[in-house]
Structure 1
Amino acid sequence: MEQIDGSTLEGGGQILRNAVSFAALLQKPIMIDKIRASRKQPGLKAQHAAGLNLVGRISHGSEMQGASKDSSTLQFTPGDLVAGSYSADPGTAGATTLLLQIALPCLLFANSNGVNTSTLRLRGGTNAIQAPQVDYTERVFLPFLQRHFMVNVGLTIVRRGYYPKGGGEVSVTVPTMKEPLPAITILDRGTVTSVRGRAYVAGLPKHLAKESRDAAVALLVKKGIDPSVIDIEYVREDAAKAFGAGSGVVLWAETDTGCILGGSSVGQKGVEAAEIGREAAEELERNLTQGGCVDEYLQDQWIIFGVLAKGKSRVRCGLPLTLHTRTAIWLAEKLTGVSFTQIPDEEGKTMVLECEGIGFMPKSHKETPQDIMEER
């Protein structure tokens, strides 16, 4: 059983999600201790436990101990990944996007069992702090997977849910892969051709969304973005499609080489609407200034897919590498045996991350009658 120190580097939920996904795919039993040891409230939160139990259901015949709230140790012996329809609900405002993160790699390579597409119904928060907003996942992360890894994941926002009650729901469709993911090469950031976005409020006056939008536009123009390429909408969510009150801004910039980089901010009590817009614009501008082909969140999210891909993947990232990225690399090397090479540019402004993927496909997917006869 592979031992994993859950307090290493980032020391949070990311170690948990990536480790369990890798374990389920590689059929490798793991034990994680010191889970979220450096957090104010260590151990599993409801959202983490919901994600772990979701993988436990996808991994038929698995054994999982410690997958409950406040637990600081987890043991997981995986079973057979099986495509199908699954759901998860932490009963809190825990992020639906983080539930998707842990389940997605597992479902991509699940035994189809005659099912070519799996479905997920994920409940909880859709727009929260310390997690990707669902709009970022929809507009940046999933298009990245489709363009570069040829994975077409569908996402529908059924209902938005906000802190502290949650109550949101998203529906996701995940294809069953018939061959390994392709390696990717993304080295040229290119020139920004458009900046789009969404400033929203739910259960609050619409003019607050407009104030956020206007502040975001003003800052982007001040930082040198051509106003003619900026298109940010402002909306008040339909009360029938939103649970609770919330606000925020999600921005994404597209370049002429196909890169998409994001910036976002979530409204909090006591923070002015204009400040929310400025925070999102500053984050986007920072990611653009760093010169990477991925933003600070995609920087670590592509790692698990690059490791599973067949061939050498190379992605230019901005500096410094985030703690989440360093953690994802450490865990991937520990559990799969891959090695990452870090190649800085001559000016030391960006870093190319390079790895030779394992070309993962479950053995059961590879076996044809001819394969079985040759083994015998």
Structure 2
Amino acid sequence: MSCEVIQIDGSELEGGGQILRIAVTLSILLHQPIRVLNIRAGRGKPGLMEQHLKGLELVTEICNGKLKGGFIGSTEIELWPSKIRGGNYTSFVKTAGSISLLLQVALPCMLFADSDTYLTLGGGTNAEMAPQVDYTTEVFRPILEKFGATFDFDLVRRGYFPKGGGKVEIHVRPVTQLKAVELLEVGNLTSVYGWSFVAGNLPTHLSHTMANAASDKLNKIQKNVKIERYKEDADIAPDNGFGIVIVAETSTGCVIGGSALGRRNEKPEVTGIKAAEEILTSLDEGSCVDKHGQDQIIILMALAEGRSRIRVGELTLHTKTAIYIVEQLSKVRFDIIPHGNSNIIECDGLALKA
């Protein structure tokens, strides 16, 4: 481990929790002590919220590290990582803080642990401002598998805003190394499918309205769109919530997602159209990865062996932030090659080994 502490400014670019998540993950994987200042300075309420603190505590335990400044509201932390250990870990956010974001910070670390890792995570399964767990399992996981890794996932209970209370169980097997990925052509659509759900005391017809609106929009580019409509079992999802997740697969192996959560003052057909339009935007741009997966692939590309080349749409601020932090903490350098409405992201990975 380097004795030099690298300092990261949390107010740069996106200025939110993503800077912290990526910096902490790379700190652990590269055995590099870090100090993160101005945490979430770009948010209305700066500093660590419970969701960020729980993620920090979880990965600090996984790497047997030392954490300074780990408390609610803290705007500065220091992390000294040690060896990544497999085993059983639990992390519960009392609020509807996103389980998917907890997994984002922990998963790359677990891929390089010394043995299998079993996680029990609690919080929000379907939350605003974060990927729904259904997106994480049905879109992000197939992308991760192209890099040569995967995870097992069991949904125990759904948790919606504002109560949370969701619970998932995850099993991760370590890899020796990630492999580079090349996705440059989106190809032709082969299937479009998804899930439109309601829960709690909400009427089932909401799921049909969302699905019908999304299908009508998507039928312009793909016939036989299959979106399942259903009401969640009360034992799994007792609280009120509704939303939709859509997956598009192409002939070249691209997996593109679109999703939206229902809102109290929003018509359900608008929710369905939002999810469909995310799919359409990605396809119009010729993107092989949608905007939600775009920033999540950056750390995988940086860790893999070989040169990864992936076509995306317009670079999101989250993606620019991910690239910025990775380049600060590692020797990896990214090339962005404009190509019509899309961009090709390229980099030679670190070829990190467990």
SS at the partner of 1:10? coil
Q: Are 1:153 and 2:151 matched, yes or no?
A: yes
Counterparts of residues 256-295 of structure 1 (less than 5 Å): 256-295=251-290
The amino acid of 1:192's aligned partner reads L
What's the counterpart of residue 367 of structure 1?
none
> Pairwise CA RMSD of aligned residues?
1.0
What's the counterpart of residue 37 of structure 2?
33
Name the CA distance, whole Å, in 2 between partners of 1:354 and 1:243. 44
Name the CA distance, whole Å, in 2 between partners of 1:249 and 1:68. 35
The alpha carbon displacement at 1:144 in A equals: 1.1
Q: Are 1:66 and 2:65 matched, yes or no?
A: no
What's the counterpart of residue 108 of structure 1?
111
Name the CA distance, whole Å, in 2 between partners of 1:296 and 1:152. 21
The alpha carbon displacement at 1:90 in A equals: 1.4
Name the CA distance, whole Å, in 1 between partners of 2:238 and 2:121. 15
SS at the partner of 2:235? helix
SS at the partner of 1:314? strand
* Higher share in helix: 1
The alpha carbon displacement at 1:243 in A equals: 3.8
Q: Are 1:213 and 2:223 matched, yes or no?
A: no
Retained in 2: the 8 A contact 1:168–1:243? no
Name the CA distance, whole Å, in 1 between partners of 2:238 and 2:284. 36
Comparing 283-292 with 16-25, which one deviates more in the overlay? 283-292
What's the counterpart of residue 351 of structure 2?
359
Name the CA distance, whole Å, in 1 between partners of 2:19 and 2:74. 15
Give a deviation string over 1:244-300, Cα, whole Å, max 9, x none. 110011111000111010111111111111111111111211111111110011111
> Which one of 190, 193, 196 corresponds to residue 193 of structure 1?
190
- Structure with the greater alpha carbon radius of gyration: 1
SS at the partner of 1:14? helix
The alpha carbon displacement at 1:184 in A equals: 1.0
> Which one of 350, 354, 367 corresponds to residue 342 of structure 2?
350
Q: Which runs of 4+ in 1 moved over 3 A?
A: none
Name the CA distance, whole Å, in 2 between partners of 1:59 and 1:226. 46
Give a deviation string over 1:207-261, Cα, whole Å, max 9, x none. 111111111111222xx22222x10011100000014110011111000111010
What's the counterpart of residue 175 of structure 1?
173
State the TM-score, normalizing by the size of structure 1. Answer: 0.91
Give a deviation string over 1:99-120, Cα, whole Å, max 9, x none. 00000011110122xxxx2111
Identity %: 47
Count of equivalent residues? 349
Retained in 1: the 8 A contact 2:97–2:123? yes
Give a deviation string over 1:29-81, Cα, whole Å, max 9, x none. 10001111111111111111100000011011x11012221111111111211
Name the CA distance, whole Å, in 1 between partners of 2:70 and 2:160. 25
Name the CA distance, whole Å, in 2 between partners of 1:78 and 1:134. 28
Name the CA distance, whole Å, in 2 between partners of 1:164 and 1:7. 27
What's the counterpart of residue 297 of structure 1?
292
SS at the partner of 1:156? strand
SS at the partner of 2:129? coil
Name the CA distance, whole Å, in 2 between partners of 1:16 and 1:265. 25
For structure 1, the 5+ residue unaligned runs are 363-376
Retained in 1: the 8 A contact 2:311–2:344? yes
Name the CA distance, whole Å, in 2 between partners of 1:293 and 1:343. 15
Name the CA distance, whole Å, in 1 between partners of 2:252 and 2:315. 22
Name the CA distance, whole Å, in 2 between partners of 1:305 and 1:253. 22
> Which one of 92, 96, 105 corresponds to residue 93 of structure 1?
96
> Which one of 315, 332, 337 corresponds to residue 326 of structure 2?
332
Retained in 2: the 8 A contact 1:167–1:243? no
SS at the partner of 1:302? helix
Give a deviation string over 1:170-190, Cα, whole Å, max 9, x none. 11111111x211111111111
What's the counterpart of residue 230 of structure 2?
235
The alpha carbon displacement at 1:202 in A equals: 0.5
